[in-house]
Structure 1
Amino acid sequence: MDPIVEVVAVILGFIGWIMVGVAIPNRYWRTSTVDGNVITTSTIYENLWMSCATDSTGVSNCRDFPSMLALNGYIQASRALMIASVVFGTFGLLGSLIGIQCSKAGGENYVLKGRIAGTSGVLFMLQGLCTMVAVSWYAFNITQNFFDPYYPGTKYEIGEGLYIGWCSAVLAIAGGAVLTCSCKLGTEEKYPLPHARGTVYSGPAPTRSMAASTYGRNAYV
């Protein structure tokens, strides 16, 4: 595999890992605007950790969710998946920095470095899958409640935090797939060529006179 391709794959995985760190604390996972007059118009926005509200004067107020056990199941699952995504991405990034060919950290054992790079690619793909499931599950619940005419609560819309998460998942999966394809397991065995016991000559057989002259020259010269 071309080292440049490996570097590009690591950069994609690194950007995906950074974007996961940006998406988790982002407050705008879902938003809702309550229309009213100039005084009562407000915007409500939430993420996995807190709920905030901003009025028309620009004053915002945020509060953390009081109890994790009182949250909906999909929010708890999204929290766990996003944290797992950060963990997978961290180990994948460390392994990829060791496993790529242009890195001197892993020595000159390119078979081992290829295996480390392939494992790092799998970790990047797991990061992307965890992120993709978390944000997609969260967005599914938003759209389900929004289009439900009998839903009594506040109807939200998809916020920018989910779009950041989707971009992060795509980049991580793409970078991980390239690293996995570059994995060199060293399964091809190189068998040595068989050595002939004698020397094989090709061409016409020498005559007696030629053999005699050759013998005399080798013996006495």
Structure 2
Amino acid sequence: MASSGLQLLGFFLTLVGLAATLGATLMVEWKKEGKTNYIYEGLWASCHESGHDTVSCEYHDSVLELHVEFLVTRVVMLLSILLSSVALLISIVGMKCTHFMDGRPKGKSATAMAGGILFMIAGLMTISVTSCFEFGIAVYVSWAGGILTMAGGALLSCRRCWRTRDSESISGNGLFPASNQNSNYV
């Protein structure tokens, strides 16, 4: 099982990745059109910016008026957020620093690994669905969220990143004979 510090780092990375994914889902800057009057399209609304620094936004009234790419992105981003939330709960149970499942270290390790794998799947979903868009601010935030979620999930699912203290000692590996406590040395 990974060390507590490594698990906490992975957990923190997944929290930041989940927040970035949620922020990117709510952002309007998925698609940008125009040279003087900008039109921003997002998953939930579209905004029109005129040259006088005024912005007017309208929420999408109907699902039928959206392009297919926005519908698919909306569904996959929501599924990614839902999967990350489930992985968050599962990985909390499996982390070394919590008292859930204290008597079962192998089950605790497997639970943390399952949460990490779910995080990696959620991050992969986020990255794959946003790769078809033009480079807007929401796409960059979404990529960052997906990468952080995948990296944190990899750290959480790492079962043997470092060896335990027992296997690190040289005498425990049989390289040196065990010293006899009763021997008399001059």
TM-score relative to the length of structure 2:
0.80
Which runs of no fewer than 5 residues in structure 1 stay unpaired? 36-41, 143-157, 184-221
* TM-fit CA distance, 1:32: 2.4
Counting only pairs closer than 5 Å after superposition, residues 43-62 of structure 1 correspond to structure 2 as 43-62=38-57
C-alpha distance in structure 1 between counterparts of 2:52 and 2:65, whole Å: 32
C-alpha distance in structure 2 between counterparts of 1:106 and 1:81, whole Å: 32
* TM-fit CA distance, 1:59: 1.5
* TM-fit CA distance, 1:34: 3.0
2:104 aligned with 1:109: yes
- 1:125·1:172 contact (CA, 8 Å) conserved in 2? yes
SS at structure 1 position matched to 2:34: strand
2:120 aligned with 1:129: no
The partner residue of 2:154 within 177, 180, 186 is 177
* TM-fit CA distance, 1:33: 3.2
The partner residue of 2:95 within 95, 100, 103 is 100
- Counterpart AA for 2:4: P
Partner residue, 1:160: 137
C-alpha distance in structure 2 between counterparts of 1:98 and 1:12, whole Å: 17
Partner residue, 2:33: 32
Partner residue, 1:209: none
C-alpha distance in structure 1 between counterparts of 2:102 and 2:113, whole Å: 17
C-alpha distance in structure 2 between counterparts of 1:57 and 1:167, whole Å: 32
- How many residues were matched structurally? 160
Deviation string for 1:107-138 (max 9, x for gaps)?
2311111111011011101110111122112x
Which runs of no fewer than 5 residues in structure 2 stay unpaired? 161-186
Identity %: 27
- 1:100·1:114 contact (CA, 8 Å) conserved in 2? yes
Partner residue, 1:39: none
SS at structure 2 position matched to 1:81: helix
- The higher radius of gyration belongs to 1
C-alpha distance in structure 1 between counterparts of 2:157 and 2:91, whole Å: 10
CA RMSD of aligned residues (A): 1.7
Deviation string for 1:67-120 (max 9, x for gaps)?
213322221111110000111110111111111111113323111111110110
